[in-house]
Each structure stands twice: as structure tokens, then as C-alpha cells.
Amino acid sequence: MTLISKIKEKKAVVGVVGLGYVGLPMAVTVARKGYQVIGVDVSQYAVEHVNAGENYIGDVDDDELAKQVKNGQLKASMDYSVMKNADVIMVAVPTPLDKYQQPDSSYVRASVASLAKNVSPDTLVILESTTYPGTTEEIVAPAFQKEGFEIGKDFYIAFSPERVDPGNKTYKTHNTPKVVGGVTPKCNEISKIFYEMVLDAPIHLVSSPAIAELEKIYENTFRNINIALANEMTILCEKMGLDVWEVIEAAKTKPYGFMAFYPGPGIGGHCIPLDPFYLTWKAREYGYHTRLIELAGEINNDMPGFVVTKAAKILNKQKKALSNSKILLLGAAYKKDIEDMRESPIYNIIKILEENQANFDYNDPYIPSFRSELTCKEYHSVDLDKLPEYDLVIILTNHSSYDCEKIVKKAKLVLDTRLACNGLESENLFRM
């Protein structure tokens, strides 16, 4: 039976390497379409939870995962040898930056090295991790060629970026359009058939993995730079005594040529703050300096400091100093309604608050406690009932569960960095 017929007849076994925010929703999406799915992860926590039918990712439905595991459609292992049975394998391992802000491709290298020793001929491997243009052909393909596979003949490799937006209620893994770039035309053909079978979204083929790799970074850079522009407008509006949110609302009325992006206390998550720097690094190989990306990074990185300065000004007006005020930070996650704290602006905000000897606590309904590497301390979410005790409440994340009317009513002072209190007017409410 050919690989294409196995995929079309749902006889193909699908492997997913890396069962995190991207991999687990993908594994469940594929199993939902009737395929047998095996996941591999180096994390014992992930593997044990999947095999126990216990969900740990916000975008995955608890009951659906439990049912798929119970039916034997989805299982996980820490042992790569299970991939010998897989016909299509998606790789969704982390792609962070190292301490020098350079791409850390060690997870991609480690996972493909393990895979290359544990795959059978006639398998399609698709890298879904966000990475710099060239990764698939420079790192992934050679790992399999070294084991004797001929790409496009007895083995197929493609890159297809994952675009999942955690917490998005409309666009999920299954209905987000997919871009695919195969190493050869045959790799493209098989990948397209596969994604058409497992997703309910259009598949857009491009001519090479590098185009697909770059388009993903372009998407995230577009977002990063536009957020930086909104943040720069905020800094300027503060100086000019203008309300940036009103400016954005007005600009939004233009039906073409403008797209609204919003300021915030800084950018977070595993993607937007990091991915553009994958490109910056690669561009150096071509003697090009990605100035706009670096500048946007600088502006976005200044926002935690901007928030704390604004907080100090608000307290000053009440003849209070940052150093002997009690501050409550609302929201530790980098965006609303999720429990993900990766690169969250709160880390830098608490670092600056600590440096200024400020007394502070935080509340986040999704994050009962966390440890910050920047301050080497552990923090515990406090009860919202304590809100009136604080001199200033700073809204960092606009979780839907926050009742802003109640917050503004009960708090002595509120600094809203997210327009969470939109429509509310009060003397004690300040917008960023």
C-alpha cells in the first residue's frame, strides 16, 4: 500500500513529536479524523498525562482527549522506537533563544537525530516548530540522508508552520489555513493530501521549506513590529497628554490600510518576542542587519519600565512613594484567559518593582504560584478579596473573569494597561 493510499484510507499511523501547546492539540485533531496517533515526548509528565487521558493544555477538550486515549486512538511514549510504525510524523518541539539571543536549535536537532534512527522508509516528516529559513534543509533533511534515506524517493520531508493562537475561540488547529513547503514536489503533494485529510482549512503550498519558514517569521514579526508601534504611540501620547486608546479607536474607523494593534505592558509568549530574532540571526549570514526588528524589540522591552514609571507617577500624586506602597498586579499570564507565563511582561515588572523596594503581590486565576528566574523568588496568587488593602492595582492581563467594575469600585487606585476597564469612568482609574 502506498503512503498516499494509507493517508487517504486513514490507515496511516500519525506520529507527533513534542506534546506541548502545539503538538497535543494537533495530535487530538488528527485522532478526531479517525487516524491512529502516537506521541513522543521527553517529558514524563506529558507522556504519563496523555496515557492517563488527563489533559494539560488549555486548547484541548478534556473529554475528547480522555475518550481518544480510552479508545486506543491516541497514546504517548518517551521511547522513539514507536515511530518505526508511523507513516506521517509532525515535529513540534521548542525553538527558544539562548542567552545570547541566538536561535537554540538543540531541540530540533535532538528530536530529528532520534527520529532518524527510528523511522521506516516511505514516511513523511513535517517540521512544525517555528524556525529560521533554511532549518528544514540544513538540519532536518541531512539527519535522515545520513541514515541513507533519499528525500523525495523513499522518504518525504516538509516544513509547515503551526499558527495556533492559544485561547482563540474561533480559530483552532483544525480550521486555521495551513502553509506547506516540501523539500521536493512529491513531498509537497503528500503533505497537501495529509493536511487536507486531517484539517478543515485551505492548504497553501509554497515552492520550498524556506519560503514556509520565512512566511511564519514574517507573520510574527509583523505582529511584533505593529505592537511596538502601538507602544511607541503610547509613550508619545503620555508625553502629549493624549489618550492612545482613543487615537486607535479613531484610526480603526478607516476601512482599509489600517489594522488595529494595541499597546500593553510588554510582549510575551513563546512566539512573538522570540521568533523575529531567529531572522535577525539568519540575516547576519547574508551581511544584513534587520534594523526594524531590533528597534521594535527595544521599544517592546521598554514597556515594563514604562508601566512602573507610570505607576510611580500615579502614586506620587497621592503623595505616596513606590517604595512604601502596596501594589497588586492583576494577571501574570502573557495574555488573557490562558495559563501560559512564558516571556510574560510580569517578570520584568516585578524585577523593577523589587529594585525599587516596592511591596507587591499578584493575582491570576490561572496561575496559583510561579517562580521568577529574574528575581529568584517564588510568588503566590493572593485572593481578590484583599484588593481594597492595596494602594494601587495594576491590570497587566485582561482575563475575562476579572470584574472590572467591581475592581474599580473597590480599589484605591487602578492602572489599566490593557483597556480592560473600557467604558468605565472613575477618578481613581488611569489608563496606560
Pairing of strands 203-206, 178-182: parallel
* Site residues for ligand NAD per CB under 6 A: 17-23, 40-43, 46, 92-95, 107, 110-111, 129-130, 162-164, 166, 270-271
Shortest Cβ 164–ligand NAD spacing (Å): 5
Please identify, using beta-carbon distances, which residue of 140 and 248 lies nearer to ligand NAD.
140
Please identify, using beta-carbon distances, which residue of 103 and 304 lies nearer to ligand NAD.
103
Is the distance from CB of 38 to CB of 76 less than 8 angstroms? Answer: yes
Please identify, using beta-carbon distances, which residue of 95 and 191 lies nearer to ligand NAD.
95
Please identify, using beta-carbon distances, which residue of 19 and 267 lies nearer to ligand NAD.
19
Which residue blocks in 342-394 are alpha helix, DSSP H? 346-355
Shortest Cβ 209–ligand NAD spacing (Å): 14
Pairing of strands 377-380, 414-416: unpaired
* Residue given cell 540575516 in the structure block: 283
In terms of Cα–Cα distance, which of 18, 60, 74, 15 is closest to 43? 18
Shortest Cβ 106–ligand NAD spacing (Å): 8
CA distance from start to end of the chain = 61
Q: Which helix (H) or strand (E) holds 431?
A: strand 429-431
Shortest Cβ 27–ligand NAD spacing (Å): 11
For residue 10, is it left (φ>0), alpha (ψ between -120 and 50) or beta? Answer: left
For residue 17, is it left (φ>0), alpha (ψ between -120 and 50) or beta? Answer: beta
Q: Is 271 a catalytic residue?
A: yes
Please identify, using beta-carbon distances, which residue of 234 and 300 lies nearer to ligand NAD.
300
| Marked catalytic residue, from 271, 376, 404, 421 | 271
Give the span between the Cα atoms of 87 and 10, in whole angstroms: 11
Shortest Cβ 342–ligand NAD spacing (Å): 8
What residue is closest to ligand NAD based on CB?
20
Catalytic residues: 271
